[in-house]
Structure 1
Amino acid sequence: MAADLRSQAIQNPIDIAEYLFKRLQQVGVRSIHGLPGDYNLVALDYIAKVGLNWVGNCNELNAGYAADGYARVNGISAIVTTFGVGELSAVNAIAGAYSEYVPIVHIVGYPSTTAQKDGMLLHHTLGNGDFNVFSNMSRQISCAVSMINHQHEAATLIDNAIRECYLQSRPVYISLPTDMVQKKVDGDRLKTPLDLTFAPNEVEKEDYVVDVVLKYLHAARNPVILVDACAIRHRALDETHEFIKKTGIPTFVAPMGKGAVDETLPNYGGVYAGDGSNAGVRERVESADLVISIGPIKSDFNTAGFSYRISQLNTIDFHSYAVRVRYSEYPGVRMNGVLRKVTEKIGKLNIESGPNPTNEIPDEEIKSPEPTITQAWFWPRLGQWLEKGDIIITETGTANFGIWETRFPAEVKAISQVLWGSIGYATGACQGAALAAKELGIKRTILFTGDGSFQLTAQEVSTMLRNDLNPIIFVICNNGYTIERFIHGWEDKYNDVQEWKYRDLPAAFGARPDQYKTYRVDSKGGVEKLFRDEEFAGAGTKKLRFVELVMRWDDAPKALMSTTESTARRNAEN
Structure 2
Amino acid sequence: MALDIRTSELKEPVDVAEYLFRRLHEVGVRGVHGVPGDYNLVALDYVPKTGLNWVGNVNELNAGYAADGYARIKGISAVVTTFGVGELSLLNAIAGAYSEFVPIVHIVGTPSTLSQKDGMLLHHTLGNGNFEVFSEMSKNISCAMAKLNDPHEAATLIDNAIRECWVQSRPVYITLPTDMVQKKVEGERLKKPLDLDHPPNQSEKEDYVVDVVLKYLHAAKNPVILVDACAQRHRVLDEVHALIEKSNLPTFVAPMGKGAVDETLPNYGGVYAGDGSNEGVRDRVESSDLILSIGAIKSDFNTAGFTYRISQLSTIDFHSDYVRVKYSEYPGVRMQGVLKKVVAKMGKLNVQPGPTASNNIAHEDKGMSNNEVISHDWLWPRVGQWLQPDDIVITETGTANFGIWETKFPKGVSALSQVLWGSIGYSVGACQGAALAAKETGNRRTILFVGDGSFELTAQEVSTMIRQGLKPIIFLINNEGYTIERYIHGFDAPYNDIAQWNYTDLIPTFGGTPDNSKTYRVKTKQEAEDLFNDGEFAAAGKLQFVELFMPKEDAPKALKLTAKASAENNAKQ
TM-score (norm 1): 0.99
CA distance in 1, matches of 2:319, 2:222: 23
CA offsets, 1:197-237, max 9 Å, x none?
11100000000000000000000010010000000000111
Q: Give the superposition deviation at 1:513.
A: 2.2
Q: Are residues 1:324 and 2:352 paired?
A: no
Q: Which residue of 2 aligns with 1:455?
A: 456
CA distance in 2, matches of 1:125, 1:79: 21
Q: Which residue of 2 aligns with 1:34?
A: 34
Equivalent position SS for 2:45: helix
Q: Give the superposition deviation at 1:364.
A: 1.6
Conservation of the 8 A alpha-carbon contact between 2:449 and 2:475: yes
Equivalent position SS for 1:126: coil
Q: Give the superposition deviation at 1:3.
A: 3.6
Q: Which residue of 1 aligns with 2:169?
A: 169
CA distance in 2, matches of 1:513, 1:391: 24
Equivalent position SS for 1:513: coil
Q: Give the superposition deviation at 1:510.
A: 1.5
Conservation of the 8 A alpha-carbon contact between 2:312 and 2:327: yes
Conservation of the 8 A alpha-carbon contact between 2:223 and 2:350: no
Q: Which residue of 1 aligns with 2:262?
A: 262
CA offsets, 1:532-564, max 9 Å, x none?
1111111xx421000000000010000000000
One-letter amino acid of the structure 2 residue matched with residue 559 of structure 1: A
CA distance in 1, matches of 2:324, 2:415: 27
Q: Which residue of 1 aligns with 2:564?
A: 565
Q: Give the superposition deviation at 1:494.
A: 0.6
CA distance in 1, matches of 2:133, 2:434: 32
Q: Give the superposition deviation at 1:4.
A: 3.5
CA distance in 1, matches of 2:49, 2:327: 54
Equivalent position SS for 1:514: coil
CA distance in 2, matches of 1:442, 1:194: 28
Q: Give the superposition deviation at 1:5.
A: 2.6
CA distance in 2, matches of 1:113, 1:509: 40
CA offsets, 1:168-188, max 9 Å, x none?
000000000000000000110
Q: Give the superposition deviation at 1:573.
A: 1.1
One-letter amino acid of the structure 2 residue matched with residue 347 of structure 1: G
Q: Where in structure 2 are the equivalents of 1:367-406 lying within 5 Å? A: 367=367, 369-406=370-407
Q: Are residues 1:334 and 2:334 paired?
A: yes
Q: Which residue of 2 aligns with 1:527?
A: 528
Q: Give the superposition deviation at 1:8.
A: 1.6
The number of residue pairs the alignment matches comes to: 572
Q: Which residue of 1 aligns with 2:48?
A: 48
One-letter amino acid of the structure 2 residue matched with residue 391 of structure 1: I
CA distance in 1, matches of 2:4, 2:46: 24
CA distance in 2, matches of 1:442, 1:301: 32
Q: Which residue of 2 aligns with 1:4?
A: 4
CA distance in 2, matches of 1:522, 1:464: 26
Q: Give the superposition deviation at 1:70.
A: 0.2
CA distance in 1, matches of 2:266, 2:304: 26
One-letter amino acid of the structure 2 residue matched with residue 74 of structure 1: K
Equivalent position SS for 1:196: coil
Equivalent position SS for 1:474: strand
Q: Which residue of 1 aligns with 2:443?
A: 442
Q: Which residue of 1 aligns with 2:242?
A: 242
CA distance in 1, matches of 2:270, 2:57: 37
Percent identity between the aligned chains? 71
One-letter amino acid of the structure 2 residue matched with residue 556 of structure 1: A
CA distance in 2, matches of 1:481, 1:549: 15
Q: Where in structure 2 are the equivalents of 1:123-162 lying within 5 Å? A: 123-162=123-162
Equivalent position SS for 2:342: helix
CA offsets, 1:114-133, max 9 Å, x none?
00000000000000101010
Q: Which residue of 1 aligns with 2:516?
A: 515
CA distance in 2, matches of 1:417, 1:178: 35
Equivalent position SS for 1:420: coil
Q: Which residue of 1 aligns with 2:549?
A: 550
Q: Which residue of 2 aligns with 1:488?
A: 489
CA distance in 2, matches of 1:474, 1:390: 15
Point out the more displaced range, 509-518 or 23-32: 509-518
Conservation of the 8 A alpha-carbon contact between 2:321 and 2:335: yes
Structure 1 residue runs without a partner (length 5+): none
Q: Are residues 1:430 and 2:447 paired?
A: no
CA distance in 1, matches of 2:199, 2:271: 32
Point out the more displaced range, 504-513 or 466-475: 504-513
Equivalent position SS for 1:269: strand
One-letter amino acid of the structure 1 residue matched with residue 334 of structure 2: R
CA distance in 1, matches of 2:141, 2:253: 27
Conservation of the 8 A alpha-carbon contact between 1:488 and 1:568: yes
One-letter amino acid of the structure 2 residue matched with residue 78 of structure 1: A
Q: Which residue of 1 aligns with 2:88?
A: 88
TM-score (norm 2): 0.99
Q: Give the superposition deviation at 1:2.
A: 4.3
Q: Are residues 1:289 and 2:289 paired?
A: yes
One-letter amino acid of the structure 2 residue matched with residue 297 of structure 1: I
CA distance in 1, matches of 2:443, 2:410: 15
CA RMSD across the alignment: 0.7
Q: Are residues 1:69 and 2:76 paired?
A: no
CA offsets, 1:87-108, max 9 Å, x none?
0000000000000000000000
Equivalent position SS for 2:278: coil
CA distance in 1, matches of 2:147, 2:117: 14
Q: Give the superposition deviation at 1:349.
A: 1.3
Conservation of the 8 A alpha-carbon contact between 1:389 and 1:442: no
Structure 2 residue runs without a partner (length 5+): none
Q: Give the superposition deviation at 1:511.
A: 1.6
